């Protein structure tokens, strides 16, 4: 794959998506107030233009504030920024879709988002709680009609509230539900899934390529070792000996090699960080190129294991 000079990839609807973005997920309890805002501002100064967020991250107000401040000081224009928001599980009923998107827009204080994606193919019971549970602590699910949800999203695009539409954590069957929907107006341009050298997603990647759907890889460096949502049986990705050897050759880190590997095969990466040194390091992947042999060696590391279990 040839990387463009502005490090972006074309989408099937004519828009473009930067190949690397900053993931903005942070634990709402432990992440210090203002940390997201400072991270996004620094990232824009470093060169990031793609930001991945969500209503349920509870920090879109800080992301929006940072973007608006960097527009106000002349660093960027709104059209330079690519923001991805997400439709949460409790908003799948068609009549709630635009409400959810408008919540995100109001929180960001922006007129539109560049990409809006269905965060999960499963739905929770609509209501005041984002994570509805019964008295025994079991999640309360809700019947979902993904095609009806999609039609409501198409109406949001037609209304100018979003530029592109996509999905997340969808498998081939769920993607085909949308792609084969009678009267489909706007195809999903992307599918955000876990993707890294230990979980390379070869079959899904090939299916998405055939249908002009870009894979966006979350947890591209593995994850933190948080037992509440991470499979701790997975070996630490960044300590892999093959990755260490390749990194040493290019005077790079194993994290940079992981990111370069995915970008080089057309997978967009959204590493999460609130640390200035890592934000800078993760963006510094466009001055070296992995050989075909190195790409094959890293592909050979695939263990088909997920770090992110999403047990819900």
Backbone angles phi, psi at 3, to 5 degrees: -85, 135
CA distances from 163 to 14, 16, 89, 117, 249 (A): 10, 10, 21, 11, 41
Long-range contacts of 230-236 (CB under 8 A, 24+ apart): 230/307, 230/308, 230/309, 231/305, 231/306, 231/307, 231/308, 231/309, 233/305, 234/198, 234/305, 234/306, 234/307, 235/198
Chain mean position to CA 232: 22
Longest distance between any two alpha carbons in the chain, whole Å: 56
Residue 217's region, left for phi above 0, alpha for psi from -120 to 50, else beta, is beta
Question: Which sign, positive or negative, has the C-alpha torsion 86, 89, 91, 94?
Answer: positive
Which one of 25, 48, 57, 218 is the catalytic residue?
57
Chain mean position to CA 253: 22
CA distances from 185 to 152, 164, 176, 310 (A): 11, 12, 15, 31
Q: Which residues have C-beta within 8 Å of that of residue 302, sequence separation ≥ 6?
A: 197, 198, 199, 200, 202
Active site residue 116: no
Confirm or deny that 142 is annotated as ligand binding: yes
What are the respective helix, strand and coil percentages of the chain, to the nearest 5? 40, 20, 45
Nearest Cα neighbor of 222 from 202, 204, 240 is 240
HSE of 66, CA atoms in CB hemisphere, 13 A: 26
Binding site feature residues for substrate: 142
**Residues designated as active site:** 57
Residues belonging to the binding site are: 142
């Amino acid at each position: 794959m040839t990387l463009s000079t502005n490090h972006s990839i074309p989408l099937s609807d004519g828009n473009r998506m930067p190949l690397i973005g900053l993931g903005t997920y942070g634990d709402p309890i432990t992440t210090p107030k203002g940390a997201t805002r400072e991270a996004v501002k620094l990232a824009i100064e470093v060169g990031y233009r793609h930001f991945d967020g969500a209503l349920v991250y509870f920090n879109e107000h800080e992301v929006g504030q940072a973007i608006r401040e960097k527009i106000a000081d002349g660093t960027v224009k709104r059209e330079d920024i690519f923001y991805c928001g997400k439709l949460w599980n409790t908003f799948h009923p068609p009549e709630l879709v635009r409400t959810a998107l408008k919540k995100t827009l109001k929180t960001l204080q922006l007129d539109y988002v560049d990409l809006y994606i269905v965060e999960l193919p499963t739905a929770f019971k609509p209501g005041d709680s984002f994570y509805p549970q019964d008295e025994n602590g079991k999640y309360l699910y809700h019947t979902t009609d993904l095609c009806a949800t999609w039609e409501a999203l198409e109406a949001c695009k037609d209304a100018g509230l979003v530029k592109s539409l996509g999905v997340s954590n969808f498998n081939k069957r769920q993607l085909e539900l949308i792609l084969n929907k009678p009267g489909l107006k706007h195809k999903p341009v992307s599918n955000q899934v876990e993707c890294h050298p230990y979980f390379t997603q070869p079959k899904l990647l090939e299916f998405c390529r055939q249908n002009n759907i870009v894979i966006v890889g979350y947890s591209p460096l593995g994850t933190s070792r948080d037992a509440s949502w991470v499979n701790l049986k997975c070996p630490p990705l960044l300590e892999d000996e093959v990755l260490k050897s390749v990194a040493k050759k290019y005077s790079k880190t194993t994290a940079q090699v992981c990111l370069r590997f995915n970008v080089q095969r057309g997978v967009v990466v959204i590493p999460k960080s609130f640390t200035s040194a890592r934000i800078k390091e993760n963006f510094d992947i466009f001055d070296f190129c992995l050989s075909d042999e190195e790409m094959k060696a890293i592909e050979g590391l695939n263990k088909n294991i997920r770090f992110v279990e999403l047990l819900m």
